[in-house]
Amino acid sequence: MGLEFNGVPAPAEGSAIDYKGEKFIVPDRAIIPYIEGDGTGRDIWKAARRVFDAAVEKVFRGKRRIVWYEVFAGEKAFKRFGEWLPQGTLDAIKEFRVAIKGPLTTPVGGGIRSLNVALRQLLNLYACWRPVKYIPGVPSPVRHPERMNIVIFRENTEDVYAGIEWREGSAQAKRLIDFVNAMLSVDGAKKRVRTDSGIGIKPISVTGTNQLVRRGLRFALDQGLKTVTLVHKGNIMKFTEGSFRDWGYQLAKEEFRGAIVTERESWILDQRDKNPAASIEAIAARVEPGLDMAPGAFRLQVETEVKACLDSIRATHGNGKWKGKVMVNDRIADSMLQQILTRADEYQVLCTPNLNGDYLSDACAAQIGGLGLAPGGNIGDGYGVFEATHGTAPKYADQDVVNPGALIRSGALMFEFIGWPEVGVLIERALAATIAEHRVTYDLERLMRMEGITGAEKLGTSAFADAIIENMSEKAVASG
């Protein structure tokens, strides 16, 4: 007997994607579970699915296709099974490994298990993958949106999102505050927590950091990119975000030594390349301005670092060879928020703890035209769940008006993830071509009008999908 989830048999004409040796093995009739989503999820899923099927058909001409398998969450699950998130849905996604979902209503009143949290725990979807790339013609609030082409890997399982917090006045908050104040105050009053505080815990682990940074570095190497930036607030939160930075560098050096150079190492090597006779002390002074006024112990520390760097990698990375490696650098989160506005083109891959990534990905998305076009995927080793980053926009539900672009782009990302990148590229090209023709949904038409672009054709959700499919020309397929 075949597999069955939520009492619905899995399609007999397809089979599951497998994962071996860190690679997906995708059958020609791959089953992919989908959750339609609530509200406008219904509109955008219908449209996006047609775009996905058309792109797969154009690229593989019937040799391969996706066998869609509906699984349930949100309102549809509640109506059908009396549960917002049936166990069968989680089991099906685990079985088939890769899934796509529309937005879900968060029921007012709470107490409902979140699908994303449940999936993250079950499948260790440790990274939120958010590419942010401008599509020409989309109105943007910045002068040079085309300079933004950044891929964000946001840690997905810990930080202040771990959900370990207690309300002010609760017995648990009181116990924890008493414990901290009585047992942990090393600097006396300075470290005291006010007794009328709410308390949250911010765990950042070696495990969570390593798996995220490894993912970011592998991505940069696979894609031939030149820079990976660790974004943190380690100047203030030394043992959480500061450690995220330190562990990130450590992992890069331990696991990717031949392929990477850290920014600081590049300065040291550059000094040596330019002046082969310079002493260790002279190089240290150039790398760390003001070193001559620093305490002796710090001077020694920097000189030791310079010597260790030259001894260990001068042969492999010196004489300019470091310029061909992936540069790993780090930036303080607040400065990064400035730099995406002023120097976006200097950054390619950002690895961030959870909260920084939340802020940064929305700020980046705003620069390229907002959430209506922002794709995302929650990914782990051998598992991925893709979704638009916007919500259910319930006031537009079932009216065939909203923009399906974000879900369509999330699907393009999904195809890249499973190793069918040509499908993703075709979808992106066709979407871009449609926007370039100024055939767009109401949200983009409104923005275009506000920018003084007149004559854009306002399309409904399904007509926009039709236009994208029309733009999957033979030429677009061939150049994919």
Of 45 and 96, nearer to ligand NAP (C-beta) is 45
Closest distance of CB 12 from ligand NAP, Å: 30
Closest distance of CB 55 from ligand NAP, Å: 20
Spot the catalytic one: 161, 249, 347, 383: 161
Is 222 a residue of the active site?
no
Of 100 and 336, nearer to ligand NAP (C-beta) is 100
Closest-by-Cβ residue to ligand NAP is: 391
Spot the catalytic one: 358, 400, 443, 466: 358
Closest distance of CB 24 from ligand NAP, Å: 24
Of 81 and 442, nearer to ligand NAP (C-beta) is 442
Which pair of tokens denotes residue 436?
């370039």
Closest distance of CB 134 from ligand NAP, Å: 18
Is 307 a residue of the active site?
no
Spot the catalytic one: 53, 334, 362, 381: 334
Is 381 a residue of the active site?
no
Closest distance of CB 99 from ligand NAP, Å: 13
Of 211 and 392, nearer to ligand NAP (C-beta) is 392
Spot the catalytic one: 76, 101, 202, 233: 233
Q: Which residues contact ligand NAP by CB under 6 A?
A: 40, 44, 103-106, 372, 387, 390-394, 402-403, 443
Closest distance of CB 116 from ligand NAP, Å: 7
Of 112 and 291, nearer to ligand NAP (C-beta) is 112
Of 44 and 379, nearer to ligand NAP (C-beta) is 44
Is 233 a residue of the active site?
yes
Residues assigned a catalytic role? 161, 233, 334, 358
